[in-house]
A and B are shown apart, each in its own frame.
Chain A
Protein backbone atom coordinates (compact mmCIF):
# COMPACT_ATOMS: atom_id res chain seq x y z
CA UNK A 1 0.00 0.00 0.00
CA UNK A 2 0.98 3.62 -0.26
CA UNK A 3 3.25 5.06 2.37
CA UNK A 4 3.35 8.58 3.77
CA UNK A 5 3.66 11.15 1.01
CA UNK A 6 4.65 14.79 1.18
CA UNK A 7 4.49 17.67 -1.27
CA UNK A 8 6.24 19.54 -2.58
CA UNK A 9 9.47 17.58 -2.31
CA UNK A 10 11.52 20.76 -2.75
CA UNK A 11 10.57 24.35 -2.07
CA UNK A 12 12.64 27.47 -2.55
CA UNK A 13 11.25 30.60 -0.94
CA UNK A 14 12.47 34.15 -0.68
CA UNK A 15 12.85 35.47 2.81
CA UNK A 16 9.52 36.82 4.00
CA UNK A 17 7.36 34.58 1.84
CA UNK A 18 4.74 32.23 3.27
CA UNK A 19 4.94 28.51 2.48
CA UNK A 20 2.57 25.56 2.94
CA UNK A 21 3.80 21.99 3.16
CA UNK A 22 1.45 19.06 2.76
CA UNK A 23 1.46 15.61 4.32
CA UNK A 24 -0.68 12.65 3.29
CA UNK A 25 -0.41 10.02 6.03
CA UNK A 26 -1.04 6.32 5.60
CA UNK A 27 -4.78 5.78 5.32
CA UNK A 28 -6.37 5.11 8.70
CA UNK A 29 -3.43 6.26 10.76
CA UNK A 30 -4.64 8.13 13.81
CA UNK A 31 -1.44 9.85 14.82
CA UNK A 32 0.48 12.38 12.74
CA UNK A 33 3.75 14.11 13.61
CA UNK A 34 5.80 16.90 12.06
CA UNK A 35 9.56 17.08 12.54
CA UNK A 36 12.22 19.53 11.36
CA UNK A 37 15.60 18.13 10.34
CA UNK A 38 18.47 20.57 9.88
CA UNK A 39 21.51 19.47 7.89
CA UNK A 40 23.61 16.96 9.82
CA UNK A 41 21.18 16.81 12.73
CA UNK A 42 18.48 14.47 13.95
CA UNK A 43 14.80 15.22 13.39
CA UNK A 44 13.35 17.61 15.96
CA UNK A 45 9.73 17.34 17.03
CA UNK A 46 7.42 20.16 16.00
CA UNK A 47 3.84 19.07 16.62
CA UNK A 48 1.53 16.06 17.06
CA UNK A 49 -2.06 15.36 16.01
CA UNK A 50 -4.38 12.62 17.13
CA UNK A 51 -7.06 12.57 14.45
CA UNK A 52 -7.95 16.26 13.98
CA UNK A 53 -6.91 17.34 17.47
CA UNK A 54 -3.53 19.01 17.85
CA UNK A 55 -2.44 17.55 21.17
CA UNK A 56 1.09 18.90 21.34
CA UNK A 57 2.55 21.93 19.58
CA UNK A 58 5.33 22.57 22.03
CA UNK A 59 8.04 22.04 19.40
CA UNK A 60 6.91 24.79 17.04
CA UNK A 61 9.80 27.29 17.09
CA UNK A 62 7.74 30.45 16.81
CA UNK A 63 4.25 31.77 16.14
CA UNK A 64 5.18 31.91 12.45
CA UNK A 65 4.67 28.14 12.37
CA UNK A 66 1.15 26.76 12.21
CA UNK A 67 -0.14 23.24 11.53
CA UNK A 68 -3.60 21.87 10.93
CA UNK A 69 -5.32 18.57 10.19
CA UNK A 70 -8.96 19.61 9.85
CA UNK A 71 -10.47 16.27 8.82
CA UNK A 72 -8.11 13.98 10.63
CA UNK A 73 -6.22 12.85 7.54
CA UNK A 74 -4.17 15.28 5.41
CA UNK A 75 -2.13 17.81 7.34
CA UNK A 76 -0.59 21.13 6.33
CA UNK A 77 2.35 22.86 7.97
CA UNK A 78 2.40 26.57 7.24
CA UNK A 79 5.34 28.86 7.81
CA UNK A 80 4.71 32.57 7.57
CA UNK A 81 7.34 35.21 6.77
CA UNK A 82 10.04 32.61 6.22
CA UNK A 83 13.53 33.26 7.56
CA UNK A 84 16.85 31.73 6.52
CA UNK A 85 16.99 29.69 9.72
CA UNK A 86 13.79 27.91 8.59
CA UNK A 87 15.82 26.15 5.87
CA UNK A 88 15.61 22.43 6.68
CA UNK A 89 13.92 19.20 5.69
CA UNK A 90 10.41 18.97 7.11
CA UNK A 91 9.40 15.39 7.81
CA UNK A 92 5.92 14.09 8.43
CA UNK A 93 5.29 10.75 10.15
CA UNK A 94 2.17 8.79 10.93
CA UNK A 95 1.37 5.85 13.17
CA UNK A 96 -1.56 3.55 13.41
CA UNK A 97 -2.77 3.97 16.96
CA UNK A 98 -2.88 6.69 19.55
CA UNK A 99 -0.42 4.99 21.87
CA UNK A 100 3.31 5.54 21.81
CA UNK A 101 4.56 2.01 21.11
CA UNK A 102 3.69 2.09 17.47
CA UNK A 103 6.16 2.56 14.67
CA UNK A 104 6.19 6.01 13.14
CA UNK A 105 6.32 5.80 9.35
CA UNK A 106 8.09 8.75 7.80
CA UNK A 107 7.43 10.52 4.54
CA UNK A 108 10.25 11.54 2.16
CA UNK A 109 10.28 15.07 3.51
CA UNK A 110 10.07 18.53 1.99
CA UNK A 111 13.40 20.28 1.62
CA UNK A 112 12.81 24.00 2.22
CA UNK A 113 15.47 26.48 1.20
CA UNK A 114 14.96 30.11 2.18
CA UNK A 115 17.08 32.58 0.24
Chain B
Protein backbone atom coordinates (compact mmCIF):
# COMPACT_ATOMS: atom_id res chain seq x y z
CA UNK B 1 0.00 0.00 0.00
CA UNK B 2 0.91 3.66 -0.14
CA UNK B 3 -0.05 4.82 3.31
CA UNK B 4 2.01 8.00 3.80
CA UNK B 5 1.51 10.02 6.96
CA UNK B 6 3.09 13.26 8.10
CA UNK B 7 3.24 14.55 11.68
CA UNK B 8 2.60 17.09 13.04
CA UNK B 9 0.13 18.59 10.58
CA UNK B 10 1.00 22.10 11.74
CA UNK B 11 4.19 23.28 13.40
CA UNK B 12 4.91 26.78 14.68
CA UNK B 13 8.48 27.72 15.57
CA UNK B 14 10.24 30.90 16.62
CA UNK B 15 12.61 32.32 14.06
CA UNK B 16 16.07 30.86 14.65
CA UNK B 17 14.79 27.65 16.24
CA UNK B 18 14.84 24.22 14.57
CA UNK B 19 11.91 22.42 12.99
CA UNK B 20 11.58 18.66 12.57
CA UNK B 21 8.79 16.95 10.68
CA UNK B 22 8.37 13.22 10.25
CA UNK B 23 6.97 11.07 7.49
CA UNK B 24 5.99 7.44 7.83
CA UNK B 25 5.26 5.16 4.91
CA UNK B 26 4.12 1.58 4.48
CA UNK B 27 5.66 0.38 1.20
CA UNK B 28 8.81 -1.55 2.13
CA UNK B 29 9.94 -1.45 -1.53
CA UNK B 30 10.22 2.36 -1.51
CA UNK B 31 13.79 3.40 -2.31
CA UNK B 32 13.67 7.15 -2.94
CA UNK B 33 12.52 9.74 -0.44
CA UNK B 34 12.12 13.39 -1.45
CA UNK B 35 10.77 16.39 0.45
CA UNK B 36 8.92 19.10 -1.45
CA UNK B 37 8.16 22.65 -0.30
CA UNK B 38 5.01 24.38 -1.51
CA UNK B 39 4.29 28.03 -0.80
CA UNK B 40 0.73 29.29 -1.01
CA UNK B 41 -0.47 29.31 -4.61
CA UNK B 42 2.86 28.08 -5.94
CA UNK B 43 4.13 24.84 -7.39
CA UNK B 44 5.83 22.15 -5.24
CA UNK B 45 9.62 22.41 -5.35
CA UNK B 46 12.12 19.75 -4.33
CA UNK B 47 14.25 20.85 -1.39
CA UNK B 48 16.11 17.65 -0.54
CA UNK B 49 15.97 13.95 -1.30
CA UNK B 50 17.65 10.77 -0.12
CA UNK B 51 18.07 7.29 -1.50
CA UNK B 52 17.59 4.13 0.49
CA UNK B 53 21.27 3.27 0.68
CA UNK B 54 22.00 6.44 2.68
CA UNK B 55 20.94 7.27 6.24
CA UNK B 56 21.38 11.04 6.27
CA UNK B 57 21.92 13.89 3.85
CA UNK B 58 22.57 17.56 4.57
CA UNK B 59 22.33 20.70 2.46
CA UNK B 60 23.13 23.89 4.40
CA UNK B 61 20.25 24.40 6.87
CA UNK B 62 18.27 21.41 5.67
CA UNK B 63 18.83 17.73 6.40
CA UNK B 64 16.93 14.51 5.85
CA UNK B 65 17.34 11.33 7.91
CA UNK B 66 16.02 7.94 6.87
CA UNK B 67 15.19 4.91 8.98
CA UNK B 68 14.29 2.20 6.48
CA UNK B 69 13.73 -0.45 9.13
CA UNK B 70 11.11 1.67 10.87
CA UNK B 71 9.85 3.08 7.54
CA UNK B 72 10.12 6.74 8.35
CA UNK B 73 12.17 9.71 7.26
CA UNK B 74 12.39 13.18 8.72
CA UNK B 75 13.09 16.71 7.54
CA UNK B 76 15.22 18.91 9.76
CA UNK B 77 15.41 22.67 9.26
CA UNK B 78 17.87 24.57 11.46
CA UNK B 79 18.04 28.33 12.12
CA UNK B 80 14.56 28.78 10.69
CA UNK B 81 13.74 31.97 8.81
CA UNK B 82 10.36 33.51 7.88
CA UNK B 83 10.82 32.37 4.28
CA UNK B 84 10.81 28.78 5.52
CA UNK B 85 7.07 29.20 6.22
CA UNK B 86 5.32 26.86 3.77
CA UNK B 87 3.71 23.45 3.45
CA UNK B 88 6.20 20.59 3.27
CA UNK B 89 5.31 17.31 1.60
CA UNK B 90 7.12 14.01 1.83
CA UNK B 91 6.65 11.89 -1.29
CA UNK B 92 8.27 8.46 -1.14
CA UNK B 93 8.61 6.73 -4.45
CA UNK B 94 6.38 3.68 -4.60
CA UNK B 95 8.59 0.65 -5.15
CA UNK B 96 8.66 -0.72 -8.67
CA UNK B 97 7.02 2.38 -10.05
CA UNK B 98 8.05 5.91 -10.88
CA UNK B 99 5.16 7.52 -9.07
CA UNK B 100 5.55 9.57 -5.91
CA UNK B 101 3.03 9.07 -3.10
CA UNK B 102 2.56 12.45 -1.40
CA UNK B 103 1.54 12.85 2.21
CA UNK B 104 -1.05 15.42 3.31
CA UNK B 105 1.65 17.95 4.15
CA UNK B 106 3.01 19.76 7.20
CA UNK B 107 2.25 23.46 7.57
CA UNK B 108 5.33 25.12 9.05
CA UNK B 109 4.92 28.63 10.41
CA UNK B 110 8.04 30.57 11.41
CA UNK B 111 7.21 33.37 13.82
CA UNK B 112 9.51 36.40 13.44
Binding site for B on A (CB under 8 A): 31, 33, 35, 41-45, 48, 50, 55-56, 59, 91, 98-101, 103-109
Contact = CB atoms under 8 A, between A and B. Distances in A.
A91 B105 CA distance: 16
Given A42-B89, A43-B102, A101-B32, A109 B43 contact: yes
Contacts of A43: 44, 89, 91, 100, 102
Interface residues of B, number: 22
15 contacts: A31-B98, A41-B104, A41-B105, A43-B89, A43-B91, A48-B99, A55-B98, A56-B99, A91-B43, A91-B44, A98-B98, A100-B31, A103-B49, A104-B46, A104-B100
Nearest to B34: A103
Given A42-B89, A48-B99, A105-B46, 20 more contacts: A31-B98, A41-B104, A42-B105, A43-B89, A43-B100, A44-B102, A48-B97, A50-B98, A56-B97, A56-B98, A98-B98, A100-B32, A100-B93, A100-B97, A100-B98, A101-B32, A103-B34, A103-B49, A104-B46, A104-B100
B43 A33 contact: no
Given A42-B103, A56-B98, A107 B49 contact: no
B28 interface: no
A36 B51 CA distance: 25
Contacts of A35: 102
Nearest to B2: A45
B110 to A, nearest CB: 20
B67 interface: no
Contacts of B97: 48, 56, 100
Nearest to A98: B98
B78 interface: no
Nearest to A35: B102
Given A91-B44, A100-B93, A45 B99 contact: yes
A48 B43 contact: no
A34 B42 CA distance: 16
Nearest to A45: B99
B45 A106 contact: yes
